[in-house]
Every structure is written in structure tokens, then in C-alpha cells.
Amino acid sequence: MCGICGFVGKIDDEVKIIEKMAKVITHRGPNDVNFFVDNDVAMGFRRLSIIDVSEGRQPIYNENNNLVLTFNGEIYNFLELKHQLESLGHKFYTHTDTEVIVHGFEEWGESVTLKLRGMFAFAIWNREEKSIFLARDHFGIKPLHYCMCENNFIYASEIKSILEFPKFEKKLNMKAFDNYLSFQYVPEPETIFENIYCLQPGHFMWYKDSKIKIRKFFEPILAPDETLDFEKTVSNIENAVKESVDAHKVSDVPVGCFLSSGVDSSYVASFLTGHQSFTVGFEENENYNETKYAKDLSEKIGTKNINKIISADEYWGAIKDVQYFMDQPLADPSCVALYFVCRLAREHVTVVLSGEGADEFFGGYQVYNQPRVFKFYQKFLSQSIRTWLANFVKKIPFKFKGRGFIIRGEKKIEDKFIGNANIFSKDEKKEILKDRDIATNPMNFVRPYYDKFKKLDSSSKMQNLDINLWMVGDILLKADRMSMANSLELRVPLLDRNVFEVAKTLPSKFKTPKENTKFAFRKAASKSLPGDAAQKPKLGFPVPIRVWLKEKKYYEIVREAFTSKTARKFFIEKKICTLLREHYEGKEDFSRKIWTIYTFIIWYDIYFGE
């Protein structure tokens, strides 16, 4: 695992510039640093040594040195590709997975992206053609950012590296800020910085003669097959997951795994007998502490569990560091907890396996049940009647059984679901923002995805939306940034091409029937996990933000931020302080809204503060 950065164009002091760009991402690769600098290009590389520790230094070249590669990631089918390329006459000088990319590019061109199995973001400079080729893996596990600055093309694994480029002028992207307030993250391809973009998952790009060309080589679209046999499907899931975990375990350094009370990480951990597992929890109560479950399960499956209880003060004390490493504001409270479990794991191993991706692939979120729950209600009552009923019950001053059902059942999924996080609506943003004109309806952003997936059933539409937005912008972003902040390689065997080939065909009845979520996946996991571990309800990564914001100490910390100069620059102080006070007094749970505002203020002061 590594960090890459570079630029194409003419500029003075190119060596000093590329050194600065690489230095700020030292955490991505503390073992080594190296550069390639020519008349028209500078490429930087930071290395965290995993495969071929002694010889795998980058940049990597082809036989005649006209192609120069820097790469971040892991290729799990590299031995297969290496044998194929050797049979075609290519000569290898290392044993690293990196080298198959440069020879593969030489042999197959941009089609090499279709042959790679793994997580990757890489750049290949062609010294003869004066062009650079960049690509990002199928699901967006590894990040890659780019921008144009005057006549210079700049790219990097992390945005903070691009900010070191001397001619780049840092500006807040107000469109991205607006989206952040709704989604709790910045949806790609925009970033929170104006004129810096993400190369989206499953895309590659060329830069030559001041022109950028971007093409898609892969798109994860679900294709449910109603004719599938359930038991055969469960067997296919089991075989795909086992094979993927085996492939992801390959390493020349120690490997461990994360372990929560969820079925995803538990299933992955069940294949790592003899390895170490890592868990964190909070001291508030058992709803926020998964360490006991993890310890008990570890004893049953043969892993050694190492755990830590995070105190409230530790958590709050790490928020600024976390937002610095994130590059962009992310209001998912679990990213701080993830930072701590990554730090814990790094004390013992260099590589960890985790369970990201199973919820999106196999239907793990409770919200995916909504189309089934509201099916008959929406079938027999027209939209106008449902809207009238919803507006009527909202005006009733007391809560009663069925009130939530009527409100949630008003609209179809395509008219209300923007992903797993839905923080501020357009009207709510107008209430709190100084500049009310920037507020947009988040449904306008997701509408093109629904139009693209319109042939799918409603639950599958929700999954596809989350695979393309939520998973990339929240789940994978925090996984990459928090692991790399601790110089730890995080691998996600459930986010694998072969696993997806099985997952994409599952009909909704195999994912979200009445019994449970991830139904077929849990059945597969039950063959490897003891007792009822595979049937445990999903908790996510619970963090007691809601509880802490009712304690005076943390209420005052947030209140100070809400009355700061930065807060007044963007928000109406009275409005956001009212949200905070009403939560503190127990009138309403506004914790997610409060956290979204607070996180942005903290992030802004880090990157734009004086």
C-alpha cells in the first residue's frame, strides 16, 4: 500500500515541489520514498512495504524504460497475470504485484484495467508520447484525485498533496458544501475544494497536450435473477467469499482482521484462524461496546482478539486529527472509531482484512426493507391521498402508533431515498444557511441514478445507489483515510470482482425477506460461524454521539464552535444553536444534524483557518 502524486507541465523547482507533495502523505508509505523527474513530468511515491519487501521499490519500468509506473493498491491475481505476460515474452525484474501493471499496459493498453483483480490507483507516464494514463479500481477502494492548475495537470492519492502545488489557489466548493449538508459526505466526482476532482471508480483517464479524456471501464449494476435456486446461491456465496479471503490473505508481512458484532467482519474473521483480530468499543453501555462479543467469538473461531475501550475524551480529542487526514469533511461518527481501531491494529500488524461492502452487495441495511413494508399501502392509496395523510399527521402535536408509517410511506423510494445518510433537506438547509441560495434538493443529484436503474426493483435501486454513492463517498473514503493515517493496509475481500458476480444476481427475496437482511449471505456465513452469530442484527459502528451531546461538557464544546467566526460565516447562529439546545434538553434527537455542522466547522478551521 502506498501513496502516489505527481504533475505534468513546466514549472520551476519541480524537484522541491514533488518532494513537498510526497512529504505530506508520508503516513501512506513510511518505509520508502522515491521520485521520477523528467523535463515534462514529476512523479512521487511513498511506500508501505507489503509484497516483495526488498525489491518492490517504485517507480517500476517496462523493459526499455519508456513506461514509468507508480501504483497504490494490491493486485490479487498478479501471479496469474505474470505467468501470462511471461509467456508473451515480457521480462520481469521484481516479484512484486506492481510490475504486472506496467507490462500489462504495454501488452494490452488501457484494457489492462479489465484484467486486474484488486484495489488500485495508478499512473503510467509514456516518455515517448508525453502522455500519462491514470486508473482507479472497479469499486473505488483506492482514491485518486486530480486537477488542472494553469497549464499543469496534477494528481495524488490525497487532496492535501495537491494543495502543496504552489500555483494552486485553495477555494471552498459551495456546490459540494451544499451536497455535504444533505449526504454527510461530498459525493464524487466533486470534492470540497473547487477545481479538484475524484477520478470515479471503474474509470481511467488520459492526459496529453493539455487535454483530459476520461472513460468508464466498469460499472457495478445489479442484475437480479428470479430463477436462482436458493441453496445453490448460498453455496456460490460461500465459495466466492472463501476464495476471496484466501486471495486477500497473501502478504509478506503480518495480517490481522477487524472484528465487530456484525456478520460481515465475523464471517471474514472465521477464515483467519491463528491470526489476530481487533475491536474497539465505548464505555457508555453495551449498545456501544462490541468488545465482549468479539472476544467470545474469537475464542470460538481461533483468533486472538485485541481490544480497546475508547473514552469520550479520547474520542473528542482525536476529531481534529481525523478531519485533517480525511481531507474533506465527513460527518460519519464512526470514522473516529475506525481511526482508533486502525491505530490499535497497527501496533501488531501491517495488513488487516475488513468487512466493508457486504451490506451494499447483499442487502444489509434495514432501509432496504421499506419497499416491501409499504408495497400494499402505496398500491391501494394514491400519491395525493398519501401526501394529504402525511401532512395531516405531521400537524398532530402528539405521537401515536402508525404516525411514522404514514409519514415514511408517503413517497416512493425514487422520490425520497438519497442513500443511507439523509441529513438536511433543501428547506432545512435554507433555515440554517447564511446563503440560502446555495441550497438544492438532494433528490436532483440522485435522480440520474434512478433513471439509469429504472428497470430494477425498488430495493435493488436503493442498493445500486448506495454502491455508487454512499459506499464510495463514506464507507471506502473513511476506510482508506483512517487506515493510511496509521500506515496500515486495509483490504476488503467482500468488495471483490468475483464476489460481486455472485451478489449482483441475487433477487430481493434472497436479500431482504421478512426474516432478516442479507438473508442468503447470512445463510452462507452460518456454515462458518458458531451458534447464531450469523443472525445478529446489524448495529453498524455505534458511537454515542447522541448521548455525549446531552452532557454539559461536550454540549459546551459544540456550542463554542457554533458561536465561532467560522460558524457565523456559513450558518445562522441562532438556528443552529437552537438545534443544539433542543437536543441537549431532550426535546428531539438532532444529533446527526448537529454533528454534520460541527464536523464541517472543525474541518474548515483546519484547511482554511488563519
Residue 141: phi, psi to the nearest 5?
-65, -40
pLDDT tier for residue 608 given thresholds of 50, 70 and 90:
very high
- For the cut 70, the answer to whether the pLDDT of residue 288 exceeds it is yes
DSSP string spanning 172-222? B-HHHHHHHHHHSS--TTB-SBTTEEEPPTTEEEEEETTEEEEEE------
Q: Dump strand ranges (E) for 334-391.
A: 351-353
Mean pLDDT of 18-39: 91
Instruction: Please report the pLDDT score of residue 39 as a whole number.
Output: 86
Query: Dmax of the chain from CA atoms?
Result: 77
Alpha-carbon distance 548 to 594, whole Å? 12
Q: Single out the residue in 503, 535, 567 at which a domain terminates.
A: 535
CA 331 to chain centre: 13
Angle at 82 between CA 74 and CA 255, to 5 degrees: 30
Residues 67 and 204 in one domain: yes
Flag whether 424 is in a domain.
no
Cα 293 to Cα 256, 304, 305, 538, 590: the distances in Å are 18, 13, 10, 13, 30
Flag whether 430 is in a domain.
no
Asked whether the beta carbons of 458 and 413 are under 8 A apart, the reply is yes
Q: What is the CATH number of the domain that holds 505?
A: 3.40.50.620
Q: 3-class SS at 324?
A: helix
Reported as a single tens digit per residue, the pLDDT across 415-467 is 899 999 999 999 999 999 999 999 999 999 999 999 999 889 999 999 999 99
Alpha-carbon distance 405 to 382, whole Å? 16
Residues 21 and 108 in one domain: yes
5, 147, 335, 342: which one is catalytic?
5
Mean pLDDT of 400-428: 90
Residues 67 and 189 in one domain: yes
Flag whether 437 is in a domain.
no
Mean pLDDT of 505-529: 91
- For the cut 90, the answer to whether the pLDDT of residue 54 exceeds it is no
Asked whether the beta carbons of 232 and 252 are under 8 A apart, the reply is no
Asked whether the beta carbons of 101 and 71 are under 8 A apart, the reply is yes
Alpha-carbon distance 53 to 46, whole Å? 13
Q: What is the CATH number of the domain that holds 137?
A: 3.60.20.10
- For the cut 70, the answer to whether the pLDDT of residue 539 exceeds it is no
Instruction: Please report the pLDDT score of residue 347 as a whole number.
Output: 95
Whether the ω angle into residue 544 lies within 30 degrees of 0, i.e. cis, is no
Flag whether 268 is in a domain.
yes
How many domains, in total, are found in the chain?
Answer: 3
- For the cut 80, the answer to whether the pLDDT of residue 334 exceeds it is yes
Q: At 125, which helix (H) or strand (E)?
A: strand 118-126
Q: What nine digits make up the cell of 270? A: 472465521
- For the cut 60, the answer to whether the pLDDT of residue 599 exceeds it is yes
Task: Determine whether 147 is an active site residue.
Answer: no
Residues 235 and 323 in one domain: yes
Instruction: Please report the pLDDT score of residue 403 as a whole number.
Output: 87
Q: Which residue has the cell 479500481?
A: 137
Alpha-carbon distance 187 to 190, whole Å? 6
Asked whether the beta carbons of 415 and 370 are under 8 A apart, the reply is no
Instruction: Please report the pLDDT score of residue 53 as a whole number.
Output: 56
- Helices then strands, counting H and E runs in the chain, come out as 28, 17
pLDDT tier for residue 542 given thresholds of 50, 70 and 90:
confident
Q: What nine digits make up the cell of 528? A: 462458518
Alpha-carbon distance 27 to 33, whole Å? 11
Residues 153 and 301 in one domain: no
3-state SS of the chain: helix, strand, coil percent to 5?
A: 45, 15, 35
Instruction: Please report the pLDDT score of residue 5 as a whole number.
Output: 97
pLDDT above 90: percentage of residues in the chain: 78
- For the cut 90, the answer to whether the pLDDT of residue 194 exceeds it is yes
Cα 427 to Cα 138, 158, 438: the distances in Å are 36, 33, 11
Flag whether 432 is in a domain.
no
Instruction: Please report the pLDDT score of residue 72 as a whole number.
Output: 95
Mean pLDDT of 553-580: 97
- For the cut 80, the answer to whether the pLDDT of residue 181 exceeds it is yes
- For the cut 80, the answer to whether the pLDDT of residue 1 exceeds it is no
Cα 422 to Cα 212, 447, 463: the distances in Å are 34, 15, 15
What dihedral do alpha carbons 98, 145, 180, 118 form, nearest 10°? -20
Instruction: Please report the pLDDT score of residue 540 as a whole number.
Output: 62
Flag whether 411 is in a domain.
no
Q: Single out the residue in 535, 553, 583 at which a domain terminates.
A: 535
Mean pLDDT of 187-204: 98
Global pTM reads 0.94
Angle at 395 between CA 390 and CA 401, to 5 degrees: 65
Residue 28: phi, psi to the nearest 5?
-75, -20
Residues 591 and 498 in one domain: no
Alpha-carbon distance 70 to 335, whole Å? 28
Q: Single out the residue in 192, 216, 240 at which a domain terminates.
A: 216
Reported as a single tens digit per residue, the pLDDT across 102-136 is 999 999 999 999 999 999 999 999 999 999 999 99
Alpha-carbon distance 177 to 161, whole Å? 21
Alpha-carbon distance 291 to 281, whole Å? 6
pLDDT above 70: percentage of residues in the chain: 97
Instruction: Please report the pLDDT score of residue 397 as a whole number.
Output: 82
Decide which of 58 and 256 is more confident.
256
Q: Which residue range forms the structural domain that includes residue 574?
A: 544-610
Reported as a single tens digit per residue, the pLDDT across 361-370 is 999 998 998 8
Instruction: Please report the pLDDT score of residue 52 as a whole number.
Output: 56
- For the cut 60, the answer to whether the pLDDT of residue 344 exceeds it is yes
CA 103 to chain centre: 29
Asked whether the beta carbons of 185 and 473 are under 8 A apart, the reply is yes
Instruction: Please report the pLDDT score of residue 541 as a whole number.
Output: 65
Instruction: Please report the pLDDT score of residue 2 as a whole number.
Output: 85
Residues 18 and 161 in one domain: yes
- For the cut 60, the answer to whether the pLDDT of residue 51 exceeds it is no
Residues 28 and 108 in one domain: yes
Residues 65 and 189 in one domain: yes
Asked whether the beta carbons of 300 and 277 are under 8 A apart, the reply is no
* DSSP category for residue 72: E
pLDDT tier for residue 31 given thresholds of 50, 70 and 90:
confident
Flag whether 175 is in a domain.
yes
Instruction: Please report the pLDDT score of residue 394 as a whole number.
Output: 85
Instruction: Please report the pLDDT score of residue 378 as a whole number.
Output: 85
Residues 179 and 298 in one domain: no
What does the chain come to in residues?
610
pLDDT tier for residue 591 given thresholds of 50, 70 and 90:
very high
Residues 548 and 531 in one domain: no
Instruction: Please report the pLDDT score of residue 55 as a whole number.
Output: 63
pLDDT tier for residue 491 given thresholds of 50, 70 and 90:
very high
Nearest Cα to Cα of residue 157 among 421, 471, 469, 483: 483
Nearest Cα to Cα of residue 365 among 406, 420, 303: 420
Angle at 70 between CA 65 and CA 76, to 5 degrees: 110
Asked whether the beta carbons of 263 and 522 are under 8 A apart, the reply is yes
Flag whether 447 is in a domain.
no
Residues forming a β-bridge with 146: 155, 197
Please provide the average confidence, as pLDDT, over all residues in the chain. 93
Residues 183 and 274 in one domain: no
Instruction: Please report the pLDDT score of residue 50 as a whole number.
Output: 63
Nearest Cα to Cα of residue 520 among 247, 220, 273, 263: 263
